[in-house]
Structure 1
Amino acid sequence: MVLVAGDRFAVSAAEDQMAKQIEASVTESLACDVVPPTVSNVSIGGFPFLTQIMFGTFKNIGVSVEGIPTPGPRISSVEAHLKGLHIPVKKILTNSVGEVPVDDVEATVHLDYDDVNTFLADQPGKIQINPVDGGEQVEVSGTADVPVLGAQEIGGVTTFEIRDNKLTLVPSELSLRGGLDFSIPVPGGVGELLPSVPIPVGGLPFDLSIVEASTDASGLSLTATAKDVVLPEAETRTRQCPPTDNSGN
């Protein structure tokens, strides 16, 4: 029991330290006028933990990051697992952890439909998306200039592809909506009616790259990965922000 208690105490202390390292990692390149993301639910997996300390390698650290600034739609959360963190035992014992190399990161990036639609509303075609069948399919609608008929509401289904680390919405199976209701041959003319729309999701923590996209009833789940990541030293102040003037001058 004493060993178990000591192991759990060591885990708690290490989780606090790793939370600081991760916070430094996700805020180091942010501008001063950007609200930093929230890091929570830092948990170290694997038992016994003291053995991991002895060998200088943490097997798996889970973390949630919310409020991530992005040039595209708001990202509701990133649930990440950092695997293979290398910290020599001497650095742990002397409280001089410094930078932390990480072998692999696997993450799920969550985007809500409402946030995606807010972004799409300002894009060409004013495209909007809506889940059907519990998110197994996603309908797409927008406005397009149809030859002879002029501006018309167009609808169909959409898939999501990954191109250059961007999530790309690719409409297909289009038909006219409203008073007229007939199918438009696919693929002819689809790109001209409702264009493929890239949805930027850059600026993810840990240098994550998007590799796969799936949908459910609430939104999009993007699988992201990274290799050979380095968490910066927790005490390093990489955001050189001027102090806030509260004097009113």
Structure 2
Amino acid sequence: MAQDYPVDQARPRRRGRKLLIGLFVLLLLLAGLLVVADRVAVGVAERMIGDRVRQEIAKQGAQSAPPEVEVGGTPFLTQVLDGRYQRITINLRDVQASVEGDAVRLPVLDVTARNVRASLDTLRTGQGDVVADTVNGAGTISYESLAALLNRPGLTLGEQNGKLTVKAPADILGQKLTISGTADVTVADNGAVALRFNDLDAAGLPNLPLARAFLSNYAKSISIDVPLPELPFQLAVREVRPLPEGLAVTADAKNVPINSAG
């Protein structure tokens, strides 16, 4: 004989399911609010860092487009409480500075700071140290700005097979010829970019000592040390490589105080 259960016994189960659904929805809402709060905090931090970087660039007598800052690692608020940030990336565009009277332009300068240590009290008061374990920089020097420094009419620079190339018109012993060749590119002891043109030639060059001497003197005249603008965050240049878009400069630094850059 079938047994009928009271209707009011099913109601608590339905109310229990409604309660669980309500709690689940509430948790989703809280999680969403935390995500929103986390992203808002990231935006505030990125703007503050961007303002500081802009101030430091101005102090160095340089100019650039507004810095693009990205604070990496999630969740951000957990990093704030821990006082350690995984990664901060700063992208600078059209960096220009006057070095010894000559204009040096870096179309791109990307800086990445890793394992940045900053206490919550330091962020709140602005007092104290903000230190990055490592900072890496990657920039590009345009060939146009290098050619302007060499100050030879018609001279152009470029890249071929990983080498820095040069072409320039010249009047050699009454003949209009085109000089071409390659250069060795290294980092000088003072951090400048050393250009050494040791392999120059010109099609149709007369086989005369005077013509060869002209070519040798021309190579020496364009072999210079290119001074770079002071890089932020104590970055020291380690490597320079010719690329199609310009000379790629790689720099790094360790244990860098971010809040006193440059």
The alignment's TM-score, normalised by the length of structure 1, stands at 0.73
Residues in 2 aligned to 1:162 and 1:212: alpha-carbon distance in whole angstroms: 6
Name the residue aligned to 2:105.
Answer: 74
Greater displacement, 95-104 / 51-60: 95-104
Structure 2 counterpart of 1:3, which letter? L
Residues in 1 aligned to 2:234 and 2:146: alpha-carbon distance in whole angstroms: 22
Residues in 2 aligned to 1:233 and 1:163: alpha-carbon distance in whole angstroms: 26
The runs of 5 or more residues in structure 1 that have no matched partner are 235-249
Contact 2:87 2:114 survives alignment (8 Å):
yes
CA shift at 1:181, angstroms?
7.0
Name the residue aligned to 2:219.
Answer: 194
What is the aligned-residue RMSD (CA, Å)? Answer: 3.4
Name the residue aligned to 2:196.
Answer: 170
Name the residue aligned to 2:42.
Answer: 11
CA, structure 1 residues 75+192, in 2 after alignment: closer, same or farther (shift >3 Å)? same
**Residues 153-201 of structure 1, C-alpha deviations (whole Å, 9 max, x = no match):** 6431112111121111122332234x3277x9xxxx9975512311111
**Residues 44-95 of structure 1, C-alpha deviations (whole Å, 9 max, x = no match):** 0111112211111122111122333141532223111122322101233x34
Contact 1:127 1:140 survives alignment (8 Å):
no
Q: 2:130 aligns with which of 88, 97, 100?
A: 100
The DSSP-based 3-state class of the residue aligned with 1:201 is: coil
Contact 1:78 1:107 survives alignment (8 Å):
yes
CA shift at 1:96, angstroms?
3.1
Structure 1 counterpart of 2:52, which letter? Q
CA, structure 1 residues 104+144, in 2 after alignment: closer, same or farther (shift >3 Å)? farther
> Identical aligned pairs, as a percentage?
23
Q: 1:40 aligns with which of 67, 83, 86?
A: 67
Contact 1:82 1:106 survives alignment (8 Å):
yes
Q: 2:181 aligns with which of 156, 163, 175?
A: 156
Name the residue aligned to 1:110.
Answer: 140
Residues in 1 aligned to 2:233 and 2:105: alpha-carbon distance in whole angstroms: 18
- Between the two structures, name the one with larger relative contact order (CA 8 Å, sep ≥ 6): 1
Residues in 2 aligned to 1:57 and 1:194: alpha-carbon distance in whole angstroms: 51
The DSSP-based 3-state class of the residue aligned with 1:68 is: strand
Contact 1:155 1:174 survives alignment (8 Å):
yes
CA, structure 1 residues 105+127, in 2 after alignment: closer, same or farther (shift >3 Å)? farther
1:204 aligns with 2:231: yes
Name the residue aligned to 1:217.
Answer: 244
Structure 1 counterpart of 2:201, which letter? S
The alignment's TM-score, normalised by the length of structure 2, stands at 0.70
More helix by share: 2
Residues in 1 aligned to 2:74 and 2:260: alpha-carbon distance in whole angstroms: 26
Residues in 1 aligned to 2:206 and 2:82: alpha-carbon distance in whole angstroms: 67
Residues in 1 aligned to 2:259 and 2:144: alpha-carbon distance in whole angstroms: 34
After superposition, residues 83-94 of structure 1 pair within 5 angstroms as 83-92=114-123, 94=124
CA shift at 1:98, angstroms?
5.3
